Structure 1
Amino acid sequence: MNRARLLMLNAALGPLDYRVPDGMVVVPGSVVLAPLGPRQVIGVVWEEERLPSQRVPDARLRPLVEVLPVPPLRAELRRLIEWTADYYCASLASVARMVLSSGGALKGPATMTEYRLSGGMPERMTPQRERAMAALEGEQATIRELAGLSDVSEGVLRGLVNQGVLEPVAVDCDRPYPPASADFAEPVLNDAQQDVADRFVAAVEEHRFAPFLLDGVTGSGKTETYFEAIAAAIRAGRQTLVLLPEIALTEAFLRRFEDRFGAAPVLWHSSLKSTERRRGWRAIASGEAQVVVGARSALFLPYAQLGLIVVDEAHETSFKQDEGVRYNARDVAVMRARFERIPVILASATPALESLQMAAAGTYEKLDLESRYGGATLPAITTINLTEEPPERGRWLAPPLVEAMQARMARGEQSLLFLNRRGFAPLTLCRNCGHRFQCPNCSAWLVEHRLSHRLACHHCGHETTPPDACPECGEKDCLVACGPGVERIADEVAATLPEARVAVATSDTLNTPEKAAAFVAAAESGAIDVIVGTQLVTKGFHFPELTLVGVVDADLGLEGGDLRAAERTYQQVAQVAGRAGRGAKPGEVLIQTRHPDAPVIAALAAGDRDAFYEAETEARRYAGAPPFGRWAAIIVSSEDEAEAREAANRIGATRPNLLDVAILGPAPAPLSLLRGRYRYRLLINARRTAQVQDVIRDWLGALTFPSGVRVGVDIDPYSFV
């Protein structure tokens, strides 16, 4: 090639053509450095026919600077970038940025200096030095990262370096990972598991696109079956990607993985240090990384020879990204497997309705595990009608649930209380004047967190300290917490069962893999009697002594107009119910509700999943909702409310008039102010055959907006706030 067309990582630039200097070799997918004005920018060489642009004469082309020392992006990954951008109405550049997400990895092999305690002592001990030395025992990282771990300034640590207390260590940034062994500890599977595992292994060995829906009750051993598929990929010298919905789940998964394969997988999530991301990215691109376990962003990494994709807890809504490129990792995983011509396994005890419909249509092969492993039985489920058996005044736990917890305490067993609401209370108000504490950046109430003594917005992260007096009327000692969060339930448990050892498990308290590991270890050792948690505890955890699950407010998820509310409530409650009775002892689930006859609650109590899904399927079919129709949303926002409203009205006024597409709105979004931006929404409901993306592109492409207005498109939305 003597000229190259580049996909730039800035969508505003569009494709640009460059001259390839003599002696430089580039191919489609090469990652290169190119001049742009006085700067040098990164681009990816692309096929000209797939990236249309006005052809610039050869004489006007500037030469490329260099080819970066990373393998070219494979054709399969380039096709995935194109498909994702097309389907989700995003720019190619924004998707490509997710692939090249580690800038350090693009610089080639390198060493760096990290620091660790030498065993020496400083000439003079100060409280900060003492705190740092205690926190850094066993740690090795850069000075900046050690400062974050120890909560002291970098200056304090550099003083320890000068005195020899911290010693430098030269580290190879690309040092290899310990290899996993497919035969390290082969499991004993029951007949049902073996049949499923054999089907997975055959698909891996055939190296062809094969989408599977693994539908197994909680505790049925789904993980062990797809571990055999991972073993087959390792034997074949191919890579595996396992997607998990929560970082907090990784520690329990890693332990099971190491027990089976003798080494840890390569991790990929937002909490990694920059050096870890660089090392992981390069190992993945070179093919050295055998198994990668990560969050949804791991889906776009440049695997050298991918052989299998697993999406665990595939029903989870956290696989849908709601900002930037608004993609659903479950669906993109299937498409990546299609482009790579490999199997993909969607594993869940409560599959999404869309996945079940794909299986019913024959697109996915459905494999079932209908009973728990090792003779464990599914728990008995009972509803507590709160209108007939209400909690005591000022309390939230009904007498039957309290009595069941007391019985577990007496037998030395564990209980789990589930409430999908973080913090102490969702609303704080003044009993004197009625003032409600609201986020200054969002149209949302501030949530009281008593453990950290703060009022916090769960949408933008704004925090403030609870005042001594009402800011509206000045009255002191007049603030009232309204409604329960998990912290308030934990306080009630402590008051009701003073001997109980209580742990609160939420994304606030288990916000790192290390904290999650400590929680799991405490629960498994019997150091916790009652766990109070949010949706974080509904999946992935296995505590043999946990025999009681109490759902504090099963009606909570049915509020707010979420179009998937019934399905989501069923999935959450069924998943948390699955934590009970996973060992030799039988489990029990008590569901507190004011609407025991609601279809979703009745189905849970009867254990009749099929009846619920059939009713929900018919309701969706009647409404033309997914999977029988298409949804899309257009979100308009600006820091100026009038500007946002005017832009939304312009979009609404130019809407296309099509028989198979209905367009609703514009209207203020339910969360009309978010992070200081005013928001309006239009909702599109279309028949399955409609080309929604083309309609939206033609519609919005004809309009221009002020620089302060953002217009986002959400295909297949999960959030309607």
Structure 2
Amino acid sequence: MSAPLAVRASVLFPMPLPEPFDYAVPDGVDVRAGDHVLAPLGQRTAPGVVWALRADDGSRPLKSLTDVIGGPPLGEADRAFVDWCARYLVEPPGVILRALLRSPGALRPSPVETVYHVTGLEIARLTPARRAVLEAAAPEAVTAAELARRAGVSSSVVTGLAQAGALRAEEIAADPPFDAPDPDRAGLALTPLQEQASAALRRMAGAGGYQAALLDGVTGSGKTEVYFEAAAEILRREPDAQVLVLLPEIALTQAVTRRFAERFGAEPAVWHSGLSDKARRRVWREAASGRARIVAGARSAVFLPMRNLRCIIVDEEHDPTYKQDEMLTYNARDLAVARSRLSGALCVLASATPSLESLVNAESGRYVHVRLPARAGGAVLPDIELLDLRLSPPEPGDWLSPTLAAAAAETLARGEQVMFYLNRRGYAPLVLCKACGHKMKSPEADRFLVEHRYTGRLVCHVTGFSMPRPEVCPSCGAKDSLISVGPGVERVAEEARRRFPDQRIEVFSSDTAQGPDGIRALVSSMEKGEIDILVGTQIAAKGHNFPRLTLVGVVDADLGLAGADLRAGERTYQTLVQAAGRAGRADRPGRAILQTWNPDHEALQALAAGDREAFLAAERSVREMLGLPPFGRLAALILSGPDPEALETISRSIAAAAPLADGVEVFGPADPPLSVVRGRWRKRFLVQAGRQVDISAYMRAWASRFKTPPSIRVSLDIEPYSFL
């Protein structure tokens, strides 16, 4: 009998290494592609994933695998997704793998914890402390520590009750599985338009394989209910199918989770940056093992391993927060489409204001275009009017014009709600000295410090630096000379309280509603009518349904139109449509008033006229003429270093190393608007190419032509959204 062939395993480590490393598989060890293993790496042993297996030809000696860890293996589609992302984003594949392996503890089986049930046995000596424990234990079985916390006693009281027989101990998994969704559970009755859109998505779901659809529906048209039916069709057809729903904000996760529970009788597994380690471990294990049938999460959820992914839904697909600009740079929407293709899954992109990229893909036939042109339940879109501040300016020191203030007073008198929208956090974007003109700036970045009056601090929103608001000017020493310039949401709320002293007013921003619990509480208060005036940033304009909100006042509709951002007009249009769309639901017609110094801007004119097609035609014409996305490709190369002169020299040598290629132009090096961050100077290159050019391959070739000293950091950004 011939000896079994030796096997070689290629192992990819979750670290910035250029490729997998080969190892010998010891005799008798059963290992498969996708398994998690331990292998020697340098002077240590490191965890990695078997990327491929092949016969060992014995051409060179190899170190052996140390151990097989266990846990849910990475499937072929997940490994293909890692390889694709590495090529597209021009990153080492191990960096992408690190994004997938976000919870190492999930590779082990769920730990066990002891919980206690009330037995109903009466005991002779029932002290007040024991009675408090039994009352706390009645609703549900929890651990001794949690029981003691709820009852306000020591853990010894709990153990004493268990010994006396009043409590029964039970060992359970600390990470229980998620409840299975019921696709046949009745959902909301669909309108004829919703049923038509739902039928189109259900047909695509039934056909199987990769397909992509753009679900294009106005605010309040019921897009969520429509894509629920596509998910239900997939879950109904395949008993082990999984659905991933991407959301742009944690704030939306809470509302969508509740709606999933109503439709499917079970909440989805939720993934976002605010999860505890325990919750993260549970979601990762259940998703990777295939037991979590529906997962809803923020952009990083696109990297969650899933055993049988059959559908990805990207809600608010246009939202710029899907783009991550720090560390690993990527657009979760684009990665979701690629992952759907690699997994043979349905991809649904949903938005009231689709990105030009997605609309062009729909026009070209790459996506099926599914439309919802009207609101559900007889509701109509809000009336939108432009308020020319040149004709009706606010009083000195105010930010709400008399016209908007009067409209708010009329709305409040009818018992309805008002939202003042301004996408600027804090109290004021600038603090300066009226004596010498000194502007308070961050010592770590070339940015003005934003005043936050709630906390009494000046904050840099780029680096996180903060300091108390000084009593004297740090430049000239003048006392009480610092003044606040411009409005943030806190300042608008201050004016609202002065104008409407009897109304309940809250600020909704990432500073005031921190974490999922804070967001959930504020949204719930608004839904219940416990808030009369909500002053909010962009977080307040995304997907919330406030039934009594009938007036949205946009304090500064021009914010975002300035600058060199190629998407400035599109983003402003999208943001204002979303903000205005919060007004009016069901039987309450809505109204949106947009304060502007530039009422003739094409984005604002299109918004007021309700003519999206005219705006998109103008936007498309300009981008097509200039060869900008989606009619061309962009990439950025960003350098940073501690010495500006050395950075300049290195930048010029890198510019000289750029490959010459047809259809590719390289601009730079140039100083970006944000030229210094945390004491490091920055330089930017912008690469523009034709649509047919593989810009990732070009950037990879360029990066291979230069080396930088350790003090210089280099980052690549494919299809950049930020030009700071």
TM exceeds 0.5? yes
Sequence identity percentage: 45
> Separation in 2 of the partners of 1:673 and 1:437?
16
Change (3 A) 1:461 1:22: same
Gaps of 5+ in 1: 50-54, 124-133, 151-156
1:408–1:414 CA contact under 8 A, matched in 2: yes
Deviations along 1:44-67, one digit per CA (max 9) or x if unpaired, are 112379xxxxx9956632221222
Do the aligned partners of 2:603 and 2:615 also contact (CA within 8 Å) in 1?
yes
Residue in structure 2 matching 1:249, options 232, 247, 252? 252
619, 643, 652: which is aligned to 1:616? 619
CA distance in 2, matches of 1:69, 1:522: 46
Residues 40 and 194 of structure 1, relative CA distance in 2, 3 Å threshold:
same
- Is 1:98 the counterpart of 2:99? The answer is yes
Report the AA paired with residue 21 of structure 2. Answer: L
Deviation by residue 1:461-516 (Cα, 9 ceiling, x = unmatched): 11111122222222221111110000000001001111121111111122211111
Going from structure 1 to structure 2, the CA distance change for 1:186 and 1:701 (only over 3 Å counts) comes to: same
Q: Does 1:674 align with 2:674?
A: no
Q: What CA deviation, in whole Å up to 9, does each residue of 1:302-350 have, x standing for no partner? A: 1111121100000001111112221111111111111111111000000
Pick one of 21, 32, 46 that aligns with 1:41: 46
1:347 is paired with a residue of what secondary structure? Answer: strand
**In the alignment, what sits opposite 2:201?**
200
Deviation at 1:203, TM superposition (A): 2.0
Look up the SS of the partner of 2:248 in the other structure: coil
| 558-567 or 230-239, which deviates more | 230-239
Amino acid at match of 1:177: F
Which residue of the partner structure matches residue 323 of structure 1? 326
**1:38: how far off?**
3.7
Q: Distance in 2 between matches of 1:171 and 1:35?
A: 36
Moved more, 526-535 or 64-73: 64-73
Q: Secondary structure at the match of 2:330?
A: coil
2:12 aligned partner: 7
Partner of 2:30: 25
Q: Which residue number in structure 1 is paired with residue 3 of structure 2?
A: none
- C-alpha deviation, 1:691, in angstroms: 2.4
Aligned twin of 1:126: none
Asked if the contact 2:416/2:549 (under 8 Å) is kept, the reply is yes
2: CA distance between counterparts of 1:655 and 1:139? 64
Helix, strand or coil for the counterpart of 1:670?
Answer: coil
- 1:468 aligned to which of 471, 475, 485: 471
Change (3 A) 1:121 1:383: farther
Once the 2 structures are TM-superposed, how far is the Cα of residue 7 of structure 1 from its aligned partner? 1.1
2:304 matched to 1:301? Answer: yes
Q: Is the 8 A contact 1:248 1:511 kept in 2?
A: no
Give the deviation of 1:566 after TM superposition: 0.2
2:260 aligns to what SS in structure 1?
helix
Q: 2:588 is matched with which residue?
A: 585
Corresponding residue for residue 515 of structure 2? 512
Is 1:720 equivalent to 2:723 in the alignment? Answer: yes
Higher Cα Rg, which structure: 2
- Cα 1:36–1:656 shift into 2, 3 Å: closer
What is residue 333 of structure 1 aligned with on the other side?
Answer: 336
Deviations 1:170-192 (A, max 9, x none): 65233111222123332210111
Cα–Cα, structure 1 residues 666 and 37, in superposed 2: closer, same or farther, change >3 Å?
closer
Q: Tell me, yes or no, if the aligned pair for 1:268 and 1:292 is still in contact at 8 Å.
A: yes
Per-residue CA distance 1:65-91 (angstroms, 9 max, x = gap): 222222321111111111111111111
In the alignment, is residue 636 of structure 1 matched against residue 639 of structure 2?
Answer: yes
1:484 aligned onto 2:487:
yes
SS in 2 for 1:571: helix
Residue 169 of structure 1: how far off its partner (Å): 9.2
Question: How far apart are the structure 1 equivalents of 2:37 and 2:307?
Answer: 18
The within-5 A match list for 1:445-464 is 445-464=448-467
Asked if 2 retains the 8 angstrom alpha-carbon contact of 1:120 and 1:165, the reply is no
Aligned residue identity for 1:360: E
Shift of 1:234: 2.3
Equivalent AA in structure 2 for residue 15 of structure 1 = P
Summarize the Cα distance change of 1:10–1:204 in structure 2 as closer, same or farther, 3 Å threshold: same
Counterpart contact for 1:643–1:709, Cα < 8 Å: no
The answer to whether the 8 A contact 1:122-1:165 is kept is no
Matched, 1:523 2:495: no
Match of 2:703 in 1: 700
Deviates more, 1:210-219 or 1:57-66: 57-66
Q: Which structure 2 residues correspond to residues 509-658 of structure 1 after superposition, within 5 A? A: 509-658=512-661
Alignment gaps of 5+ in structure 2: 1-5, 118-125, 131-135, 163-168
Output the CA distance in 1 between the equivalents of 2:127 and 2:403. 59
Cα deviation 1:223-260 (Å, max 9, x = unaligned): 00011112122222211000000001111111111111
Structure 2: distance between partners of 1:619 and 1:316: 21
Partner amino acid, structure 1, of 2:721 = Y
Q: Deviations over 1:537-572 (max 9, x none)?
A: 122100111100111111111022211100000000
Task: Summarize the alignment of residues 23-422 of structure 1 with structure 2, pairs less than 5 Å apart.
Answer: 23-47=28-52, 57=58, 60-111=61-112, 172-235=173-236, 236-237=238-239, 238-422=241-425
CA distance in 2, matches of 1:192, 1:396: 41
Offset of residue 640 of structure 1: 2.8
Change (3 A) 1:351 1:13: closer
Question: Structure 1 residues 113 and 623, CA, compared in 2 at 3 Å: closer, same or farther?
Answer: farther
Segment of structure 1 superposing worse, 618-627 or 18-27: 18-27
Name the amino acid aligned to 1:225: V
SS of structure 2 residue aligned to 1:175: coil
Rounded Cα–Cα distance in structure 2 between residues aligned with 1:285 and 1:264: 18
Distance 1:603 1:263, change over 3 A: same
Any idea what the Cα deviations from partners look like across 1:262-313, whole Å, max 9, x if unmatched? Answer: 1211000010011111111111111110100001111111111112110000
Q: Is contact 2:633-2:688 (8 Å) kept?
A: yes
Q: Report the more deviating stretch, 18-27 or 365-374.
A: 18-27
Would you say 1:432 and 2:455 are equivalent positions? no
Distance 1:635 1:355 in 2: 27
User: What is the TM-score when the length of structure 1 is the normalising length?
Assistant: 0.91
Change (3 A) 1:372 1:170: same
Q: 1:81 to 1:578 in 2, by over 3 A?
A: same
Deviation at 1:24, TM superposition (A): 1.3
Aligned residue pairs, count: 692
* Structure 2: distance between partners of 1:442 and 1:245: 27
- RMSD over aligned CA atoms reads 2.7
Q: Distance in 2 between matches of 1:632 and 1:578?
A: 33
Equivalent in the alignment of 1:154: none
Match for 1:288: what amino acid? Answer: R
Q: Structure 1 residues 90-99 or 59-68, which shifts more? A: 59-68
Deviation for aligned residue 1:215: 0.3
Amino acid at match of 2:260: F
Distance in 1 between residues matched to 2:116 and 2:630, nearest whole Å: 53
| Shift of residue 578, structure 1, vs aligned partner | 0.6
Is the 8 Å Cα contact of residues 664 and 687 (structure 2) preserved in structure 1?
A: yes
Q: Is the 8 A contact 2:657 2:705 kept in 1?
A: no
Provide, for residues 629-655 of structure 1, a one-character-per-residue CA deviation record: whole Å limited to 9, x for no partner: 111100001233333322222111222
Matched position secondary structure for 1:480: strand
Letter in 2 for 1:199: A
Distance 2:513 2:143 in 1: 22
Deviations, residues 391-441 of structure 1 (Å, cap 9, x unaligned): 000001111100000001100000111111000000111111222111111
2:494 maps to a residue whose letter is D
d(CA) in 2 for partners of 1:169 and 1:619? 67
Alignment TM-score, normalising by the size of structure 2: 0.91
Structure 1 residues 605 and 527: alpha-carbon distance in aligned structure 2, compared to 1, 3 A threshold: same
Is the 1:422–1:485 contact (alpha carbons within 8 Å) kept by the matching residues of 2? yes
Which amino acid is the alignment partner of residue 265 of structure 2?
A: G
